[in-house]
């Protein structure tokens, strides 16, 4: 049977029969206004280009716009369109359109495990080795599982473990957050963004992702494969006669500073570190306000957070965290709220001294 597109069918109707209407969402999908708008304009471009190829352009009338908008909404609510949602869509809902900068680096492992009650799938991964972003879906296979799964807070659903290999006793110290991507969730299947932050490079490490023991401990295994480009700058700059900034690594997802102290005392040291773009704009990466001065700095922690619905608003750095090791090493990290292009970065400034990013 031939398929007929909604927009084609509507375009043949007499305008007298076209009226404004409200579309009721009965699917459980929660598409954003931006997504609907993008699909509408995509369709508009196709219609306009087709008219131009025929030798003349047809003006887009108001009635046609309404038809296309309705068609776009119907398409968004269709299960077939939902199934096509991929890594870029997930990360665009988190980082906005800046996700385009790393679209080629997004992995889609599609690893799935299930028992009689639940199905868990590792849908997508984006990492530079230190910041590990996971998109995980959780599907309830029974009514009882649905009631006992989606009522939990996202942070309580999953357990994570990162080790150099499956038999290693060493485990990475992690900062962990989890939130639901409600735009993609349906009644029986929810999607979550898990973010793991480590002060060690976990590229090649084994990741074990498990449901909490309360839900049976269902687990899957994956390998952390870093594909996101990063640049490392050798610094060797002394700060206040005590801290030596040895190197700084910067990736589209964040920055990492490694240094050493002559004497470890008080809170974590926080040199002034800025990123300078080719257009002359500056963004602060680390400053004296990045860490609580009362923190002894011996454990993973410290930092600040900036919360905004718009990932492109506010400062580039949304969280800072760090750790001081007994041997005098200091590691400080800055997490970005939006994804940057490294080819647009000119230099990194440490206490006023610029280091070129090539």
Whether the Cβ atoms of residue 230 and residue 129 lie closer than 8 Å to each other: yes
54-88 pLDDT, tens digit per residue, is 333 333 333 344 445 555 554 454 433 444 457 89
Superfamily the domain 87-224 falls into: bacillus anthracis domain (2.60.40.1630)
User: What's the start-to-end Cα distance of the chain, in Å?
Assistant: 57
Distances (CA, A) of 356 to 255, 276, 279, 353: 15, 9, 14, 10
Residue 150: band (very low, low, confident or very high) from pLDDT cuts 50, 70, 90: confident
Strand-pair partners of 157: none
CA distances (Å), origin 250, targets 70, 97, 203, 273: 44, 20, 15, 12
* Structural domain boundaries in the chain: 87-224, 231-356
Please count the helices (runs of H) and the strands (runs of E) in the chain: 6, 17
Q: 3-state DSSP call for residue 185? A: coil
Query: Could you tell me the pLDDT band of residue 246, with boundaries at 50, 70 and 90?
Result: very high
pLDDT at 270 over 80: yes
């Amino acid at each position: 049977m031939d398929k007929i597109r909604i927009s084609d069918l509507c375009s043949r109707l007499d305008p007298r029969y076209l009226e404004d209407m409200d579309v009721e969402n009965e699917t459980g999908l929660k598409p954003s206004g931006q997504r609907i708008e993008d699909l509408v304009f995509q369709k508009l471009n196709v219609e306009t280009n087709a008219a131009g190829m025929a030798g003349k352009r047809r003006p887009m009338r108001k009635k046609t716009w309404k038809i296309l908008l309705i068609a776009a909404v119907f398409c968004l609510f269709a299960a077939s369109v939902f199934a096509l949602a991929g890594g870029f869509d997930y990360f665009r809902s988190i980082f906005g359109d800046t996700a385009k900068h790393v679209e080629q680096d997004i992995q889609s492992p599609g690893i799935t495990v299930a028992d009689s009650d639940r199905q868990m799938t590792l849908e997508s991964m984006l990492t530079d080795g230190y910041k590990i972003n996971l998109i995980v879906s959780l599907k309830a296979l029974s009514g009882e599982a649905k009631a006992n799964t989606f009522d939990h807070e996202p942070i309580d659903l999953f357990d994570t473990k990162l080790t150099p290999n499956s038999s290693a006793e060493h485990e990475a110290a992690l900062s962990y957050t989890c939130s639901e991507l409600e735009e993609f969730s349906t009644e029986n299947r929810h999607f979550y963004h898990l973010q793991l932050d480590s002060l060690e490079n976990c590229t090649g490490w084994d990741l074990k992702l498990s449901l909490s023991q309360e839900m049976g401990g269902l687990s899957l295994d994956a390998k952390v494969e870093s594909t996101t480009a990063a640049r490392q700058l050798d610094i060797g700059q002394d700060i206040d006669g005590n801290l030596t900034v040895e190197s700084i690594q910067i990736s589209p997802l964040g920055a990492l500073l490694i240094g050493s102290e002559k004497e470890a005392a008080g809170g974590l040291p926080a040199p002034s570190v800025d990123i300078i773009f080719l257009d002359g704009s500056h963004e602060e990466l680390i400053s004296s306000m990045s860490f609580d001065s009362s923190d002894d700095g011996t454990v993973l922690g410290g930092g600040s957070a900036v919360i905004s619905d718009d990932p492109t608003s506010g400062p580039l750095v949304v969280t800072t965290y760090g750790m001081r090791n007994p041997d005098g090493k200091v590691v400080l990290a800055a997490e970005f709220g939006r994804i940057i292009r490294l080819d647009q970065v000119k230099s990194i400034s440490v206490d006023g001294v610029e280091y070129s990013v090539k």
